[in-house]
Structure 1
């Protein structure tokens, strides 16, 4: 049975981590839960990761919105399902999300319990499509403990964003991608191979 894979695309490292931990709590393999801070970075990751479930910010101000990101993923991964998170929520937004086939649209800020409930419902909808999800849900239900409500504050923007000018190794560089990897914020810089720890970079 193949592992169930997820992709979380949101500008907030805190929200990325929260969603990672939420999915890991169901028993899903942490290595199969990828994150990205921008839709373009998510598209690059999805090219090889091919997620079963995409949870993405609406990215209203990006050229590649959350809905457009999902459409891009569908070209090579037609079974990918998705859900949306948005700072703005209106009947129009909900209609657009429904027409795009989103499993849910969750307005920011939201409580941790609201996110848990939305993800749980989405996983139940996906279970008939992927037996790996059904088995995880059953095991989680048997071991679940009541959780206290926790408020998730409006996700803060990452310390860095694509396009920022920074100093690294005594050179001025430009940030290409911002990624949360295993709880650590790393950057991809133009002209620099690999990833660089955010702690080793100073923003101008």
Structure 2
């Protein structure tokens, strides 16, 4: 399984990757993207099974990236790991096709709950 982690903060990408490992998902291939545009390109080139994306990023934000992926016909599994988890954002994420939204601060248990049904 290949997981693409998209966040404009390298430190946050490392935290997400470490938390994935703590949640028992350390055996997967991990690819990193530094913004939504990079993520969009890497979904095409890397063919990940799952995208974990920040919401607020320069060049292209996460929700626009998800919209662009769906417009291209991509059905890649997509979830948000972001600092905001308002009801409005959760609704927008779900309407756009995201499977989950994990709000920071998060724990390995939060990842386990969100990913168990997704990664099987």
TM-score bracket, shorter-length normalisation: 0.7 to 0.9
Tell me the TM-score normalised to structure 2 length: 0.77
- Rg larger in structure: 1
Are residues 89 and 29 of structure 1, via their aligned partners in 2, closer, same or farther at CA, if it must alter by over 3 Å? closer
1:41 paired to 2:38: yes
C-alpha separation in 2, matches of 1:108 and 1:95:
17
- Tell me if 1:112 matches 2:103: no
Distance 2:104 2:11 in 1: 13
Q: Which has the higher contact order (CA 8 A, sep 6+)?
A: 2
**Structure 1, residues 106-164: CA drift from partner, whole Å, max 9, x if none?**
1112223212322223323xxxxxxxxxxxxxxxxxxxxxxxxxxxxxxxxxxxxxxxx
**Kept after mapping to 2: 8 A contact 1:55/1:84:** yes
Give the drift of 1:9. Answer: 0.2
Q: Which runs of 5+ in 1 are unaligned?
A: 125-204
Q: Superposition RMSD on alpha carbons, in Å?
A: 2.5
Secondary structure of 1:42's aligned partner:
helix
Partner of 1:91: 87
Structure with greater helix percent: 2
What is the TM-score when the length of structure 1 is the normalising length?
Answer: 0.49
User: Which residue number in structure 2 is paired with residue 169 of structure 1?
Assistant: none
1:57 is the counterpart of 2:54: yes
Number of matched residues?
Answer: 118
Q: Which blocks of at least 5 consecutive residues in structure 2 are unaligned?
A: none
